[in-house]
Amino acid sequence: MRRIVFAYPGDLSALTGGYGYDRRLIAGLEALGHPVTPLHLGDGFPEPSPGEVGEALARLAAVPHDAVLLVDGLAHGALPADGLAGVAAPVVALVHHPLALETGVDPARAPDIAATERAALARAAAVVVTSQHTRDILLADYGVPAEAITVAIPGLDEAWRQADARRPTDPPLIVAVGSVLPRKGHDVLVAALEGLVDLDWTLRIAGGLDRAPATTEALRSAIAASGLAERVTLLGEAPEDTVRALYRNATLFALPSRYEGFGMVFAEAMGAGLPVVACRAGAVPQVVPPEAGILVGIDDVPALSAAIRRVLTEPDLAASLSEGAVRASSRFHGWDGTARIVSAAIGRLEGPS
């Protein structure tokens, strides 16, 4: 099996969907017999300093030509193409979603960010994406040839399939899982819940609070100003066991992300039998079918509020969506399948094996 060097920025142990995908992919490739060596590229990505770029390129250039470099897109898309030209090993870019589509990016800078990623992708020997949606974007807007792209959607561990164990609490528990970032739309969720004070419910938000401190502070202020402080709890980063326990007690999963390259948390919530309320954003409609949830427009607070109200007040609808969520989650198989797809893409590369 080909030796793989998995290059990543930031903290690989962070409890986010992207890093979770990376960890499970590494484990799956190792289980298939690939020797995998992690390679840290620095903490400044996706907006690295010139020094961080130089150091990352030097680390990539030191990888021997007979290995394959699998580079997380959070770093790959921010590296200059002329620098990547000095890398001897074939590079496979792992793109969760294009960097220019991150909510909060300065619109004036977005074209330059996209241009850098487009040029970097042109130098990649192959590209792995985590959804059909991202594949479509790379084909249409980034000039990546169809034959260069492999879609390897996330797996779903059996531990998330716990619909039979659900015992929703009273008052109903709403759960949102995702780091507090502008893209995740927690502010929209709080605004929507302001219109539901006539109903009994509580909200638990599980996700890192330190990746965008200004966004976290603004969310805390919004919760306080809304008068919902006694109903809404920011749990911070939570391990999978804690999230699964929340799902067992929950009535509804609600996360109005403004964009998702896939959205692993939606698949996990559906595996637990939770109805989903979210936005028609990025790949979310591909992950959450109508039988499993209600999707509304991005930043549409009244529609989000109305959708949550329906799930909380219409038991037949909630039961139907719960059953649909379980059926929809059956489309997602184990992580071993994801790893086999990526391994096959690597196997198609020319060079030493």
Query: Is the residue at 353 inside a domain?
Result: no
Q: Is residue 190 part of a domain?
A: yes
Q: Which structural domain range is residue 243 located in?
A: 158-329
**Looking up tokens 């959450």, which residue turns up?**
288
Residue-level pLDDT at 351? 62
Is there a single domain that holds both residue 242 and residue 295? yes
pLDDT tens for the chain, 353 residues long, are 889 999 999 999 988 889 999 999 999 999 999 999 999 999 999 989 999 999 999 999 999 999 999 999 999 999 999 999 999 999 999 999 999 988 777 888 889 999 999 999 999 999 999 999 999 999 999 999 999 999 999 999 999 999 999 999 999 999 999 999 999 999 999 999 999 999 999 999 999 999 899 999 999 999 999 999 999 999 999 999 999 999 999 999 999 999 999 999 999 999 999 999 999 999 999 999 999 999 999 999 999 999 999 999 999 999 999 999 999 999 999 999 999 999 999 999 976 54
Task: Please tell me whether residues 311 and 207 are part of one structural domain.
Answer: yes
Total-model pTM: 0.91
Q: Are residues 293 and 162 in the same domain?
A: yes
Asked whether residue 179 is assigned to any structural domain, the reply reads yes
CA dihedral 226, 232, 233, 237 (to 10 degrees): -90
Same domain, 219 and 306: yes
137 and 182 in a single domain? The answer is: no
CATH of the domain at 51: 3.40.50.2000
pLDDT given at position 104 = 74
Residue 47 domain-assigned (yes or no): yes
Asked whether residue 104 is assigned to any structural domain, the reply reads yes
Q: Which pLDDT value is given to residue 54? A: 96
Are residues 150 and 162 located together in one domain of the fold? no
98 found inside a domain:
yes
In a domain, 50, yes or no: yes
pLDDT digits (tens, 9 = 90+) for 81-137: 999 999 999 999 999 999 998 877 788 888 999 999 999 999 999 999 999 999 999
151 and 178 fall within a common domain: no
- pLDDT tens, 201-248? 999 999 999 989 999 999 999 999 999 999 999 999 999 999 999 999
pLDDT at 353: 45
Note the pLDDT of residue 260: 95
Same domain assignment for residues 145 and 165: no
The pLDDT value recorded for residue 331 is 92
Q: Say yes or no: 224 and 322 in one domain.
A: yes
Q: Are residue 123 and residue 237 in the same domain, yes or no?
A: no
Is residue 66 included in any domain, yes or no? yes
- How many structural domains compose the chain? 2
Query: Do 121 and 226 lie in a common domain?
Result: no
Q: Are residues 43 and 122 in the same domain?
A: yes
